[in-house]
A and B are shown apart, each in its own frame.
Chain A
């Protein structure tokens, strides 16, 4: 299979993806796709985007050899792709800069976004300020509580944060509400989706704006080690940081491992391991794996990390899972917490709880393989936003 040929013209990744939205939104996503096809290849757009990525976002982000961590686990060499050092503290900004610039080129001046952990909300509010656009961020009431520093950030950046109290009051419901708002404001509003989820063309657009992670990683490791890595590891909620890291390596002989949130443990039912424990369904405009009951009702997800607390996953990950190109495993809340602590103490880096899931699995894998192998873990974000959660647990 040629993995880098997806999606097809109708937005399908094999049997996944597509456009499952109400008619009111269909013209908008068709327009977005046409605009993206045209604008994204325009040399002036590329120049503007690259300028912002370099001078505003701070790219390229470093690829850091975590020597103390590698020595500690007595296994393969672990490298960290430092997306936590990007402006606003996570990879999310790569995509929001791209989408906001696209919105600007399309003549749209109002942005909306959904957010879970708040990183995507902050990243959207940031670019809205940068471009002088109006911004509304939908955030589950539960997440507003557990990610309060990010709520404050968004407000400081001039965005309106709209707490969502329907359903489970988390990311899934924030996305429902953003879609509802978009239906009513579709004529002048650009919906900045934060993950490789949603209807076509979003999974493709978000991946394309995030693939800079993998492109840089490849260049950097070839320069440092003179060879490709053996394993790439990234956490997967909706899956944008993982897709961004994996995509440029899809045709290479490199193992890809996505790490989902196992919450309290997959057998407890309180988890967010959509690919590991879900079934195929349609949620938020695309067909993919989802957590659902036997009647096709979407189930509540659970994770200590708000950014992974989502019962769906990007359709391209479903394709990579079905085809066997990537493996998807999971880490529990407590495994993520120990990895979080370990990275703080061994490397002086406070990771986001989302990224800590990837670290947890990275440590395990590094132990299992030879010392001359290379593992690259995507450190997708910094953990300042999670200090409150971690403090509550240690108290």
Chain B
């Protein structure tokens, strides 16, 4: 059983849902980024989505755009993200998913990326702009299956595509809660729950829901219907608001604890 499977298994036993946290690697800089992530892990984060900053993040709203830019300005690149992964892996055993646009991976070479990411202790990869139709060119260069390929399902995804997507994914599925970019607020739990039911017809993979989730109550609501909750922009917003605050790490830590608590109250 790999780390992702183990995580969902353990959560199931405990009756909790997964708290999946996204941060842009290297934001605000590489050193601080490591400190923040370590704090998040200590506070009970279940899965880390480590964002690989890209100059043209077309699926992201302003908050993650700015966080990517901050990180890029401070010198992060994919090699640096993988080094950061290695340092995080020494601290924690939670699954680490590298979350990227395709171009940085293409430029690095998918073959080398696979080898280096696995060696560093990464567990999965989610490439936002690489749908199953184009995915072979990357995965065919992977020399094994030690990296789960996390797939996205969108509110616009029709039934016949869902089966295609679930068949090509592993680890868990990332259900995008709404049409739009990251960081748009508000969720419709009824719609999400219908989509989840639809997906469950095709797969046993855990389903994590992201986009638009920011309040403890959102987390609670989504935890009732999904296997995990993904939070990204809300963390990045906190980072942005506290760039010069020496207590940033503890602020983030508190936030993670609160969200985590909300994933435990299922009833």
Contact = CB atoms under 8 A, between A and B. Distances in A.
Interface in B120-135: 128-131, 133-134
Contacts of A26: 131, 133, 154, 156-157, 161
Given A183-B180, A184-B180, A295-B107, A10 B133 contact: yes
Interface string B100-129: 011111111000000000000000000011
A313 to B, nearest CB: 15
Query: Which residue among B65, B129, B157, B180 has the maximum number of chain A CB atoms within 10 Å of its CB?
Result: B129
Interface in B121-175: 128-131, 133-134, 151-158, 161, 165
Interface in A57-89: none
Nearest to B79: A295
Contact of A20 (B65, B134, B154, B158): B134
Contacts of A284: 56, 58
Nearest to A175: B58
Contacts of B7: none
Given A187-B179, A296-B107, A20 B102 contact: yes
Interface string A269-312: 00000000000111111000010101111100000000000000
A19 B134 contact: yes
A33 to B, nearest CB: 12
Contact of B59 (A166, A183, A295): A183
Given A180-B58, A180-B181, A298-B55, A23 B176 contact: yes
B243 to A, nearest CB: 19
A50 interface: no
A22 B154 contact: yes
Interface residues on A, range: 35 or more
A282 B102 contact: yes
Contacts of B101: 282
A179 interface: yes
B102 A24 contact: no
A179 B128 CA distance: 14
A294 B179 CA distance: 33
B215 interface: no
B84 interface: no
Contact of B58 (A10, A18, A176, A281): A176
Interface in A137-190: 166-167, 172-173, 176, 179-180, 183-187
Contacts, number: 120
Contacts of A184: 179-181, 184
A294 B107 contact: yes
A337 interface: no
B179 A295 contact: no
A257 to B, nearest CB: 29
Query: Which residue among A282, A285, A290, A294 has the maximum number of chain B CB atoms within 10 Å of its CB?
Result: A282
A27 interface: yes
Contacts of B179: 24, 183-187
B54 interface: yes
A221 interface: no
Given A21-B131, A23-B165, A281 B156 contact: no
Contact of B105 (A10, A283, A296, A298): A296
Contact of B129 (A20, A180, A295): A20
A179 B60 CA distance: 10
A187 B55 contact: no
A28 interface: yes
Nearest to B72: A297
Nearest to B180: A184
Contacts of B158: 27
Query: Which residue among A21, A23, A280, A297 has the maximum number of chain B CB atoms within 10 Å of its CB?
Result: A23
Interface string B34-67: 0000000000000000000011111111100100
Contacts of A22: 58-59, 128-129, 131, 152, 154
30 contacts: A10-B133, A19-B131, A20-B129, A22-B154, A23-B152, A23-B153, A23-B156, A23-B176, A24-B152, A26-B161, A27-B158, A166-B65, A167-B56, A180-B58, A180-B59, A180-B60, A184-B179, A184-B180, A186-B179, A187-B179, A282-B103, A282-B106, A294-B107, A295-B77, A295-B107, A296-B105, A296-B108, A297-B72, A297-B77, A297-B104
Interface of A: 10, 18-28, 166-167, 172-173, 176, 179-180, 183-187, 280-285, 290, 292, 294-298
Given A180-B60, A180-B61, 6 more contacts: A19-B134, A20-B130, A23-B153, A23-B165, A24-B156, A284-B56
3 closest residue pairs by CB, A with B: A296-B107, A184-B180, A24-B154
